[in-house]
Chains A and B, each alone.
Chain A
Amino acid sequence: MDEGLRSELQKQGIFTTTLGEIYNWGRKNSVWPLNFGLACCAIEMIATTMARYDLARFGAEVFRPSPRQADLMIVAGTVTKKMAPQVVRLYNQMGEPKYVIAMGACAISGGPFKQGYNVLKGIDRYIPVDVHIPGCPPRPEALIHAFMTLQQKIAEQQLTGAQRPRHLRADAPSEFTVPEFGDHDLVPTKNPDVWQPQVLIRG
């Protein structure tokens, strides 16, 4: 609908909307995160939900203890190779639509432990991540910013057409390969459908 026309109608006391807008508005203001922390970032995540920062203002105060009831996974902390299969499994157990925020340097890249033998170089190698937040750990404001970015992302989702999100497409996968413990590393070391190394151009 034309924005100008809508504004005119609103001045006359006529409120117009679309089904998609109502649908997304409802969803974005009631995102239930999974109650799940991995390392020190989880402490900042907890602080975000408490009185001072109050994530409840955004409709996300209900941290669910079960992946079946959650919409959002906040990967808050270092993902060790031993933990990675469990993180992917938890993600697979969440019902669609589901979103992921990778919180902190470790979750997005391995952080200070990147060259270690036991830390995954970013959870985005196995599951699709919607918002990455850098920081070690990111402040609660950063998490709130990531959350608002996610809300914006949800609000802009189309319900029909080729651009519609994964949960509205029958052919799109909802579960992702759970890596297995190998002799020397996780097998596979990445899910190529989800993550490909970016082409780096060095001067």
Chain B
Amino acid sequence: METLDQIKSRLTHALLGARLEIVPNESPSSQRSLLVDSEHARAVAQWLRDDPELCLDYCSNVTGVDWLEAVGKTKIKKTVVVDGVEKELEETVDSLRSGYLEAVYHLFSMAKKHGPVILRLRTENRTDKNHLPSLTPVWHGCEFQEREIFDLYGVVFDGHPDLRRILMWDGFKDHPMRKDYVEPDDYEYEPTPHDAVLEKAKKHQAQEAKP
């Protein structure tokens, strides 16, 4: 199979205007992924599926990722004049990265027996701009998995044929897989608590002790 860089360069020629970015992966698997902008996601998906070379006809897995707001460190080179001599200094600047939600698609080709190619879509933020285009019209297998992401992460997939909660009940208000999910306090009976559960059980007891 082509490398991700080759796919990316072919994509940029095929679909003008699509903003693509390769997300590096430092882990041993070094599975890099292709970040696609929301406007062109459907076209990119269609292209990846229909391209005779790639023929990625099977979406094996769709999952969500919740990225909270974080402070990222970026190195900036600066030229500073010290005692009349220009010096180049490296400075680390803290920059606040806003939080977002991600949907990750793992694509394989059944016909060509290769894969995976990993697609990433990002929402603008975690609160109100949490829409992404649905890729269910491209790969029907995404339907339930996109519903699961909608249920557990709160990503709204535009163009999904049947976007309802799938694991939790319809009246449920939270998104349990989000990192800031507050679980109901039901720690009234913990016979063998330890670590995090012990903390929560203690907190519950302290709350019960209050009049």
Contact = CB atoms under 8 A, between A and B. Distances in A.
Nearest to B181: A117
A197 B188 CA distance: 6
A181 B184 CA distance: 13
Secondary structure call for the A interface: loop
Interface in B171-209: 171-174, 176, 181, 183-184, 186, 188-191, 196-197
A118 interface: yes
A200 interface: yes
* Size class of the contact patch on chain A: 10 to 19
Contacts of A118: 167-168, 176
Interface in B53-101: none
Q: Report the interface size class on chain B.
A: 10 to 19
Contact of A183 (B172, B186, B196): B172
Contacts of A183: 171-173
Nearest to A82: B169
Interface in A169-195: 181-185, 189
A82 B184 contact: no
A18 interface: no
Contacts of A121: 186, 189
Given A189-B184, A200-B191, A115 B197 contact: yes
Contact of B174 (A82, A181, A184, A198): A184
Contact of B167 (A82, A189, A198, A200): A82
